[in-house]
Amino acid sequence: MPRFFVDPKEIHPSFMVLTGENAAHARVLRLKDGDEVTVCDGEGTDYLCTVSDVQKDQISLVVHSSDPSHAEASVKVRIYMALAKGDKFEHVIQKATELGAYEIICFPSARCVSRPDDKSLGKKLDRWQKIAASAAEQSRRGLIPQVRSVSSYAAALRDAATADLAVCFYENEDKLTFRAAIEEKPFQSVSILTGPEGGFELSEIREAQEAGLKICTLGSRILRCETAPLCALSAVMYAVGEF
């Protein structure tokens, strides 16, 4: 069944109208009167609707019922990924959305090669949010993960540390495994913090420890910067029974 995300302000109890990109997408799908579609408010509620009228620039819908989305994870996982080269962050946004991430946040660290200025970063954030929206629609999510940036590594640590389980991954850690960290105690929220292509400097790891993050290993193999957060996210989802 086709699925569309609509701004909550445009949600009505008995009817809705698809416009703009949603209407264009509906035309590509060749929707006609009587076809069933699902509309989501992006905040966790799904609406079962049928098409009542098809016009050039808008598609009218009749709302039949609303229910909480069944596609959202029982745990809120935030991905904190250091700025990376090329389209690596875009790849993580798409796949992390499919896997159930709640938020995806980028930040600068000492070894980051990519350092966009404010104007460039603003444009990137707009594009990244659209990637998250597209991935959420494809994977039938009930909400669209927020994609945002923080201005510094210190800000990322402060933000990440508010979760029930906050973890920073370091390739030279050889004592605490991620499995052990997950199994230590129950949690409702998780922060996963990973470094850039060159990894974190030792001083940054010490900062993370001081901020209250657990320093963990993801195993004996060195993972690419775009692989590590997805690996950790998958492990969390498995641990809480999402798989």
In the chain, where the domains are located: 3-68, 76-239
Domain 76-239 is classified in which CATH homologous superfamily?
SPOUT methyltransferase, trefoil knot domain (3.40.1280.10)
What distance in Å separates the CA atoms of residue 168 and residue 149, rounded to the nearest whole number? Answer: 17
What distance in Å separates the CA atoms of residue 96 and residue 125, rounded to the nearest whole number? Answer: 16
Least confident interval from 12-21, 80-89, 91-100: 12-21
Query: What does the block give as tokens for 100?
Result: 């159930």
The answer on pLDDT for 172 being more than 90 is: yes
Between helices 118-138 and 88-99, what is the axis angle to 10°? Answer: 30
pLDDT of residue 43: 85
What distance in Å separates the CA atoms of residue 207 and residue 205, rounded to the nearest whole number? Answer: 5
What distance in Å separates the CA atoms of residue 132 and residue 125, rounded to the nearest whole number? Answer: 10
Query: 96 burial class (0-12, 13-18, 19+ CB within 10 angstroms)?
Result: buried
**Whole-number mean pLDDT of the chain?**
94
The answer on pLDDT for 109 being more than 90 is: yes
* Confidence class for position 18, pLDDT limits 50, 70, 90: very high
Are the folds of 3-68 and 76-239 the same? no
pLDDT of residue 149: 97
pLDDT of residue 178: 96
pLDDT of residue 69: 87
Least confident interval from 41-45, 119-123, 180-184: 41-45
Q: What CATH number should be reported for the domain whose range is 3-68? A: 2.40.240.20
Mean pLDDT, range 33-61, rounded to an integer: 92
pLDDT of residue 13: 86
